Amino acid sequence: MTDNTETRAPGAGEGALKRVSTDPVSRKRFMTIAGGAGAASAFSIFLAACGSDDDETTTSSSTSESTGTTGAAGVDPVIEDMFGKGDLGIVNYALTLEYLEAAFYADVVKSGLFKGADLALIKEIGSNEEEHVSALTAAAKQLGGEPAKAPETKFPLDDAASVLDLAATVENLGAAAYLGQAAAIESPEILAAALSIHTVEGRHAAALNTLTDQSITPDGPFAMPADATTVLDDVQPFIVS
């Protein structure tokens, strides 16, 4: 039993995420999902990317998809105009969204609208968002660029119910925003970081959806991406300057 565990452990640690980050075939399959493939198609692609290590299949797929390039989807022009080109633009776009989320939860904590378990959840989510800010700030610097500056924000904090609804909306939007940019990310390291944050945003959304009596998977079994224009239009009301 011990030998089996030791044999399987490295594979468990590498997993689908490593294949998506390092293998161009797995990566392109993931990009197809992120680009909004239909449910049945996305499911079959997901199984192919994550469930098969067959060398012959990989070789065949590599031949048929050899013309694909990393980051072939290109950076959204809206992101390029507002935040910069390439991965740095995407990182600064994500950083701006994380600034908004972190500021929102900080204001909610100060509002005094919540106590007990709800307050503890809000503080935990807020702490996660602050760590996302730190990580993305470091990523922007590592890419040799200037991190985006935090915008001035203002949120409607009228009552606990509406605040929870807004929190759920914000987290669902955040998860969709990361998914919407995955196909354009060139660096495997930045992609892995974005996926790890996307996962946490999705968990935040599921918890808040439960509190607000919504489905934990509002898009069904496959998450839907959101483009930058949609995301920025939705958050614009909360940005003062």
What pLDDT sits at residue 39? Answer: 38
Exposure of 40 in the CB half-sphere (CA atoms within 13 A): 0
Is the pLDDT assigned to residue 180 strictly greater than 90?
yes
Of 30-39, 91-100, 182-191, 221-230, minimum mean pLDDT range: 30-39
Q: Residue 74 — very low, low, confident or very high, per pLDDT cuts 50/70/90?
A: confident
What pLDDT sits at residue 4? Answer: 44
Mean pLDDT of the residues in the chain:
80
Is the pLDDT assigned to residue 114 strictly greater than 80?
yes
Dist CA 224 CA 217 (whole Å): 10
Count of H helices and E strands in the chain? 10, 0
Q: What percent of the chain is predicted at pLDDT more than 90?
A: 68
What pLDDT sits at residue 57? Answer: 40
Q: Residue 108 — very low, low, confident or very high, per pLDDT cuts 50/70/90?
A: very high
Is the pLDDT assigned to residue 36 strictly greater than 80?
no
Query: What are the structural domains of the chain?
Result: 2-64 (no CATH), 77-238 (1.20.1260.10)
Over residues 118-172, the pLDDT tens digits come to: 999 999 999 999 999 999 999 999 999 999 999 999 999 999 999 999 999 999 9
Is the pLDDT assigned to residue 87 strictly greater than 80?
yes
Average pLDDT for 221-237: 97
Instruction: Please report, for residues 19, 20, 93, 166, 227, the alpha-carbon distance to residue 24 in angstroms, rounded to integers and kept in the order given.
Output: 8, 7, 25, 38, 23
Q: Residue 77 — very low, low, confident or very high, per pLDDT cuts 50/70/90?
A: very high
Over residues 192-217, the pLDDT tens digits come to: 999 999 999 999 999 999 999 999 99
What pLDDT sits at residue 73? Answer: 64
Residue with tokens 């980050």: 21
pTM as predicted: 0.73
Q: Which residue has the higher pLDDT, 69 or 117?
A: 117
Around Cβ 240, how many Cβ atoms within 10 Å? 8
